[in-house]
Amino acid sequence: MSWLLVFPIAIPFATAVLAYLWRNGAEGKWISLAGSIGSLIASGLLMSAVLREGVIAGQMSNWDAPFGITLVADYLSAVMVVITAITGLATAIYAMGEIEARLERLGYHALFQVLIAGVTGAFLTGDLFNLYVWFEVMLIASFGLLVLGGSKAQLDAGIKYVALNLISTLVFLSGIGLLYGLTGTLNMADLRGAVAAVENQGLVTVIAMMFMVGFGVKAAVFPLFFWLPASYHTPSFAVSAVFAGLLTKVGVYALMRMFTLVFVGDVGFTHEILIWVSVLTMVTGVLGAAAQTDFRKILSFHIISQIGYMTLGLALFTPLALMGGVFYLVHHIIVKANLFLVAGVAQKLTGDTDLNRIGGLYKSSPWLAALFIVPAFSLAGFPPLSGFWAKYLIVMASIELQAWVITFFALLVGLLTIFSMTKIWGMAFWKPHPDGIEPVPERIPAAVRIPMMIPIVGLAAMTVGIGLFPEPFVQFAEVSAAQLLSPTDYVDTVLGVRGMAP
Amino acid sequence: MESLTAIIVGVLVAASVYLMLAPSFLRFLFGLILLSNAANLVIFASGRMTEGAPALVPEGASAPTGVVGNALPQALVLTAIVIGFGLLAFTLALAFEAYRRLRTLETEEMREAEPVEGGEETRA
């Protein structure tokens, strides 16, 4: 049983080692591809086990919880692992076209696989200090990927990204230390009982705020998001796609986990703060995007505004809202990664990402235009695409609570998202290219173009698929939200109260 | 002992915040190093201080007898130190490379990735 939990982490690590050894030849990218397919299979097996059993847990080295390190997968963890593997595979295919041999020799594929391993580990661990370690694995790999190639803009972006992320890590680490001092345990399931038993709940709330700040920087919520638009538009497109899809979502996942499992003693205070943080995140993100004229910078600001919807799902703290939050998380990873991949193709065709200097894509590459429309309108929440259902659930949840101000902003931000998307559409696709270039697909050699287009088509098909047949996904999110709101199964499975394979 | 550690943590954090507010990235980095040490001390102190009682198991026994120091926070601190060292080494290398290429470490002047407002407006 516990091997199912280990494989999704072990496979990317093994792939990273092999990809590093063969980084000088053409084998590296194929190793990376094979490893990504392996991860996808492993995560699929994990998902089927979770669907069968509800929650599965494994104690590493047979040290029983709460003393050893526990890996645990409930519905939310499992779906995040699967979606990580899907994004990993999509970007691994894309990288086969985009990443030049120069970057491969510097160890691109190895760093990429370590990043995937770190993200997967963060989703699967049931131990707070272990979560810190996975954050660091993820962080160091992302540092490497961000500055790989070493252009001036990348170095500048790297400094800002590194500085703010290190501060958040230290806040998180101090929080762990204080929480351990208060409760004497680091196991997340054990912490639920231990934190509730603490006499001085005021101290718990202080520590909860430290966690909120630490994870908030990772998730890029208002007012802690400044590292994101400063850096996401500088690395190669495959890197920014995987960053945009996964990294901030790890922060959101950690918030969801800690603020449903551990810090639920003072919901009226902590989650109320989170509500207004979410609303401000949504609004500032979308307004920031409106002021930009660079393809990737617009998309970066939209990550921030969409993060607001996910944390809003957590903050409203009703079954419907959390369900919307989980659904939003999954839908957003697919859509956002895909938009960055489209931006990469657009840049290769037109020569730039500054919207003022590009154009003519609709006339010359109508297929790319169609493939942009799908994720872009899904992001804005148009039916029948996946984003519509995600927004629908969140807005429904806020109406249910009669929180009209929140409903108003959730709908307004959706409207402003359309404004940004039509700006990209109008400037990159409709207007003629200012230099008179015809950005026909043949401007990219077929060996580069085909691997770049496969993941875009695949992810767009998933967006449409989720949009047309949302029922199983909504049901999944519903069970997941129920597990988050009453985590007795989670706690019992980890602590071995319920019969569990060693 | 605990209050002394608490005061040291306070001084370290204060000094690191002062350094981090400086315009030079190098000073910021030194501030970060102090902050990382403060975080490690917090973990160490939160495991409770026990004087002169190492967590050793006497010969023949299977568990330590009497009151012993808590070994777990020390393991955590060790891990955090190793990770922190790696990250800070990377950051220092990054700062050096940035200085070599951008010819500055003043954060106000580092606008490669985010050109000054207005620069973009005029182009539009």
Closest to A176 (Cα-Cα) out of A189, A164, A185, A163: A185
Residue B121, pLDDT > 50, answer no
Res B118: pLDDT: 52
Which residues in chain A have Cβ-Cβ distances shorter than 8 Å to B79?
Answer: 129, 133
User: Which is nearest to A332 in space by CA: A132, A73, A79?
Assistant: A79
Any idea what the CATH number is for the domain that residue B36 is in?
1.10.287.3510
Position B120 scores a pLDDT of 45
How many domains in chain B? Answer: 1
Q: Which DSSP string corresponds to A138-157?
A: HHHHHHHHHHTT--HHHHHH
Q: Is residue B97 part of a domain?
A: yes
Rounded to the nearest angstrom, the gap between the alpha carbon of residue B25 and the centroid of all alpha carbons in its chain is 15
- Domain membership of residue B30 (yes or no) is yes
Residue from B114, B120, B122 to probe the interface with A (highest A Cβ count within 10 Å): B114
Q: Choose among A170, A177, A356: nearest Cβ to B123.
A: A356
Which residues, in sequence order, are bridge partners of residue A294?
A: A354
Alpha carbons A169 and B31: distance in angstroms, whole number: 14
Predicted local distance difference test score (pLDDT) of residue A216: 94
Evaluated on CA atoms A40, A45, A48, A50, the torsion sign reads negative
Distance from CA of B50 to the nearest CA of A (A): 14
Beta-bridge partner residues of A354 = A294
Task: Indicate whether B55 belongs to any domain.
Answer: no
Sequence length of chain A is 502
For residues A361 and A221, give the distance between their C-alpha atoms in angstroms, rounded to a whole number: 33
Residue B122 has pLDDT above 50, yes or no: no
What is the distance between the alpha carbons of residues A397 and A406, in angstroms, rounded to a whole number?
10
Q: Are A388 and A322 in contact (CB under 8 A)?
A: no
Q: Which of B44, B76, B88, B96 to mutate to test the interface with A (most CBs of A within 10 A)?
A: B76
Q: Is position B86 within any domain?
A: yes
In the predicted structure, residue B124 carries a pLDDT above the cut 70: no
> Does a structural domain hold residue B56?
no
Residue B61 lies in a domain: no
Strand pairing class (A56-59; A70-73) = antiparallel
Question: Collapsing DSSP states into helix, strand and coil, what is residue A382?
Answer: coil
Residue A442 DSSP class:
G
Q: Which helix (H) or strand (E) holds A433?
A: none
B83 in contact with chain A, both atoms CB, cutoff 8 A: yes
Instruction: Report helix, strand or coil for A341.
Output: helix
Interface test with A, best of B34, B42, B70 (most A CBs within 10 A): B42
pLDDT tens for chain A, residues 1 to 502: 578 889 999 999 999 999 999 888 888 889 999 999 999 999 999 999 999 888 888 888 777 777 888 899 999 999 999 999 999 999 999 999 888 888 888 889 999 999 999 999 999 999 999 999 999 999 999 999 999 888 888 888 999 899 999 999 999 999 999 999 999 889 999 999 899 888 888 899 999 999 999 999 999 998 899 899 888 988 999 999 999 999 999 999 999 999 999 998 888 888 999 999 999 999 999 999 988 888 899 999 999 999 999 999 999 999 999 999 999 999 999 999 999 999 999 888 888 888 888 888 888 888 888 899 999 989 888 888 888 999 999 999 999 988 899 999 999 998 999 888 888 888 888 888 888 777 788 888 888 888 889 999 999 999 999 999 999 999 999 999 999 988 888 888 888 765 444 4
Range of the domain at B43: 2-50+70-111
Determine, yes or no, domain membership for B16: yes
ipTM of this model?
0.90
In a domain, B36, yes or no: yes
The answer to whether residues A69 and A53 touch, using CB atoms and an 8 Å cutoff, is no
Q: Do A341 and A242 touch, CB atoms closer than 8 A?
A: no
Tell me the β-bridge partners of B44. Answer: none
Backbone φ and ψ of A335, nearest 5°:
-65, -45
Strand partners, A71: A58, A125
Q: Quick one: which of A76, A91, A75, A74 has its CA closest to A39?
A: A91
B22: contact with A, CB 8 A cutoff: no
Q: Chain B residues with CB inside 8 Å of A181's CB?
A: 45-48
Residue carrying structure tokens 């000073």: B27
